[in-house]
Amino acid sequence: MAHLEKRGDKWRAQVSWYDNLGKRKFKVKSGFATKMQARKWANEIEVAKDQNLISNQDPIFADYFKDWYLRYKAPGKTHGTVSRYAHIHDIIKENFGNIKLSKMTRAKYQDFLNVYGKTHAKDTVQKTNGSIRSCIKDAMSEGLLRTNFTERINLTWNDDKTRKIEYLNFKQVQQLKELLLTDIKPTYVSRYMLLTIIYTGMRPGEIRVLTWHDIDFKNQEIHITKSWDYDSKKVVDYDSDEINKETKNKSSTRVIKVDQKLLDILSQLKVNNHERLFIDKFGTIPTSNAVNKTLRKQLDKLGIKNKSFHFHSLRHTHVALLLFKGVDLYSISKRLGHSNMSITANTYAYMLDELKQKSDKQIVSILDEI
């Protein structure tokens, strides 16, 4: 029940209750200017108490976030995912110190994001805010908070820090394809991997573990059900609980259509006599560094000097080709194995903006003919 008392010129309110073990708990707040304000707060807490929405605990914001991600987010996740949460914890600790959850306000959080956004890219700001929002929602469900200070927040970021998607234009990718096919042999496994990503847009990890059983030559399809986990260095099935990443989940299990030209190229690898396509006759598979070295060698021949362009950039190139040839975003999203279209749209926002500019020019040209 509630207890109100005046201390000096301020009012203090206390609400007590018994937990499931019969232990008495208290929630106290001081500093009310009037008795009416204190009673209003006490009544709100009484209602929340009846709905099991309060707790006598008041942890430090940074400590709660650390405990939260270690208990609910880290188990079963890759090293990269856990490291991202650990980094966000360090950011919270640095910016909020020992501030308790109950002392966090929307204004304090917005001030932090305003400063943080000045030196970070859009994707980084969104992911950081998204993780903190998930944490605070859980804190509210546990009764540790009465209001969600992450709601109605304005996100800002540094456009100069936002990485633009690297991709080749249609002429460049045609030239690259011809170079890769020149004097190609089954011993040049890296070349076949590069051609596969150009034609399919598959993730490098998916290409790495592709087997002959995954290819339906009759229906010209590739069945994608697994990927290579670079952190644990093992093959992980998409249908298992071991792989649970933002863009790599059960929706990654998919069937993509390919043309006969690619199937004919890949068939040359059968002489290596291995279940996996991209393992040579000596039983070795090219590392990412080896594949990137082969790629840069071919790009040098084309006069393309871009050290940041790598194996995965050809997945973006595949998307660019489909977009600029008029393939709809939904079909592209499904082909890439994204869990929803928003991931595709956010990833390729820069590319989509370029396409919009191209479409705008076409629209203006059409209107000029009226």
Give residue 363's pLDDT.
Answer: 57
Do both 79 and 206 map to the same domain?
A: no
Question: Which residue, chain included where needed, has tokens 């004097």?
Answer: 183
Which CATH number characterizes residue 223's domain? 1.10.443.10
The answer, yes or no, to whether residue 177 has pLDDT greater than 90, is yes
179 and 212 in a single domain? The answer is yes
**Residue-number span of the structural domain to which 174 is assigned:** 170-314
Identify the H or E element spanning 29. Answer: strand 24-32
- Answer yes or no: do 182 and 309 share one domain: yes
Q: Is residue 123 part of a domain?
A: yes
Average pLDDT taken over every residue of the chain: 85
Lowest mean pLDDT among 109-113, 309-313, 339-343: 339-343
Q: Say what the pLDDT of residue 15 is.
A: 81
**Residue 227 bridge partners (DSSP):** 236
More confident residue, 175 or 50: 175
* Partners of residue 256 on adjacent β-strands: 222
Assigned domain for 155 exists: no
By C-alpha distance, which of 155, 165, 262 is closest to 207? 262
Q: State the pLDDT at residue 245.
A: 47
How much is the average pLDDT of 95-120? 94
Tell me, yes or no, whether 331 lies in a domain: no
Q: Is residue 30 part of a domain?
A: yes
Q: Note whether 223 and 208 are within 8 A (CB).
A: no
The Cα 306–Cα 361 span in angstroms is 29
pLDDT tens for 8-27 read 889 888 887 676 556 677 77
Q: Is the domain of 108 the same as that of 238? A: no
291 phi, psi to nearest 5 deg: -65, -40
> CB–CB of 14/3 below 8 Å?
yes
Cα separations in angstroms, 19 against 22, 55, 115, 138: 5, 10, 41, 20
Q: Are residues 21 and 69 in the same domain?
A: no
Overall number of domains in the chain: 3
State the maximum Cα–Cα separation within the chain, in Å, rounded to a whole number: 91
